Amino acid sequence: MALVVSRYCAVTFLTALSLLVLSANFYFVYVIVDERASGSAPTNTDQVKADRNLNVSLYNKNRQKHVKRDSWLLPYKNATQSAIQEIKETIPKLHKKYLQISFSFKEILSNLLNDLKQTIRASNSLWAVVDKWVGPRQVIPERSSLLGTVLNMLSSTKIIHAENAQRGTQLKLLLTLEGGHKAVFKPQWYSRSQIIEGPVYAGKDRHNAEVAAFHLSLLLGLRRSPLTVGRKINLRSEVMPVAAGSLLDTFYQEGNDTCLYGVCYYCSPQDPVCAHKDVMEGALIYWLPESYKLKKYRHPWQRTYKFDAVARWEVDNNYCTKVMTSRLYNPQKSTRILDLIDAAVFDFLIDNGDRHHYEIFDNVSNSMVLLLDNGKSFGHPKQDHLDILAPLYQCCIIRQTTWERLRVLAGGALSFSMEKLLQGSQIAPVLTAAHLHALDRRLLAVFAAVEMCFNHVGEAAVLWNSPNG
């Protein structure tokens, strides 16, 4: 009887194993063969998984050795690898026009520097003016002589209430300023020069990255990032007396330093952030008007965030074509895809590979894609994650106005302008020289990606005029 049971179990096991291998082979054939275009955009949850049965010994043996692991995934990553290789080969061949400085950037820089000067005495009545700046296609107007005054208010106005910010997974404080307006405070976790190792989305938010990203959005003419300033806050005198009980309970003293760990998804007493004595540096981000309701979308080029899986966009050369079958991402019917390509260029320059979702205004038509949550940026000045540019080099379209602005910032004008714009910050220097240099290097890669598209489909097909923003 025992022998019969054993034989039955063996047969059952072999049958199951055969079906598993057959289904795995069928799946990989499906990946390789081009799937038919559908009427809706493919979701970024489509993944190509490392088969744990067929490759289990290799996977376990090389879990920490990415080079060997990538060698067997390489055939399935042709869409990413081939494009990146072509961009790298194009960079040293770029025409000298991409290397020369255009002095027309000086007018743009001069206008921004003038806007960033404090021109009048701060008053709480200005918050109402700031709220009126916001529209479907901008958070900040193209020119405003009040910008510097408003930023100064944001960095100095009295805090009347502090609580835990519920949004997100990391420690943030939601502060109410005198006058009733709110702002999110992201504390400093790292020094300016600390290198963040690991994948592009590694580490905690960098407060200085939020400040730098805001200024870059102004410089690029992508005025879709909320007002952001660097601010130093005395936790003991400015926050603790007005803190909600749930937040106050997370404060404690460590030697001479005041620390807290807050309340959030990943917050814990084992992972506190500490001030220098009582003073904590951070980024303060102005809360958008409550009349504008945000709606979140999953980004079509979202990463899998898994060691053993790659996203559909990494393997499918026709991925963007399939995305644009959706009315939402059809450039003839919507500005959404052009907004996402603007965001991809912006994110690549700051090395932000963590835009897994994006947000728009839900209650207005033709809303822009907002440039929110830029903290996972400027982590490693010597690394360039070219796959952040995938929406650009796969779709091969870009706004004419965006392209013209990028061209004006060639030849070192980008880093020079950013350094000048950031000098007025209360937490200057905001970026190290290495991070400023990285901006110019990455801009060349953007030029190379667009040149590659010019060669593939022609300049007229790549550059788009977008009258509605």
Residues assigned a catalytic role: 354
* Alpha-carbon gap, residue 364 to 359, rounded angstroms: 13
Residue 301 Cα to chain centre, angstroms: 12
